[in-house]
A and B are shown apart, each in its own frame.
Chain A
């Protein structure tokens, strides 16, 4: 089955590095995408095609993949980074997609 698994929560102190993982069997064959969703807001694309950042996304957000795991790394975490982060990948057809369950990042 096509599933993406994320940890429910990650906590870090300001200035530290946060790592959020996303595991799924299709990741070796499909790109990973990451979205940030702050409370009451629509999701925001922050990483596309594994490791590309859209214009305006700070360089402290970094995406990587290895085998069946994609990782979102946030270096020098700031209070404003507190949000839920979702990973997403297309299925093998490329037409439908699946989201991970989301990871709540808490900045202590």
Chain B
């Protein structure tokens, strides 16, 4: 079965950094774009970033440009989201998702909480 498992979330203070990891299984990881989507408590979904299968191309929502980076290691079937200069409004569940347009498989998410 296709599965994504996120890790690395936690409670940090504003201005600090955090690195999220996502390990995929059950599919040829290196053939797919991977995406991070976040959801603040009780709110809607927000696309955050994505990365091309070979890692050569990345895209970010404007609110995280310059603060977040996305990378992947296809040998480890993993994608990462490095988050720096975290702000209170970055607080959310972060989902790792397969795909770029048809986001067809989602992990269960990892919670990032940023305190002021």
B-contacting residues of A (Cβ < 8 Å)? Answer: 31, 33, 35, 41-45, 48-49, 54, 86, 88, 90, 94-102
Question: Which residue on chain A has the smallest CB distance to residue B93?
Answer: A42
Residues of B within 8 A of A54 (CB): 104
A-contacting residues of B (Cβ < 8 Å)? Answer: 37, 44-47, 50, 57, 59, 61, 95, 100-109
Distance in Å from the Cβ of B89 to the closest Cβ of chain A? 17
User: Is there contact, CB below 8 Å, between A88 and B103?
Assistant: yes
Residues of B within 8 A of A49 (CB): 102
Bound state CA distance, A99 and B43, in angstroms? 11
Distance in Å from the Cβ of A62 to the closest Cβ of chain B? 17
Which residue of B44, B102, B106 contacts A48 across the interface (Cβ within 8 Å)?
Answer: B102
Which residue of B61, B102, B103 contacts A96 across the interface (Cβ within 8 Å)?
Answer: B61
Question: Which residue on chain B has the smallest CB distance to residue A99?
Answer: B45
Residues of B within 8 A of A101 (CB): 44
Residues of B within 8 A of A43 (CB): 45, 95, 103, 106
Distance in Å from the Cβ of B25 to the closest Cβ of chain A? 16
Question: Which residue on chain A has the smallest CB distance to residue B58?
Answer: A95
Bound state CA distance, A25 and B48, in angstroms? 21
Which residue of A41, A95, A98, A99 contacts B100 across the interface (Cβ within 8 Å)?
Answer: A95
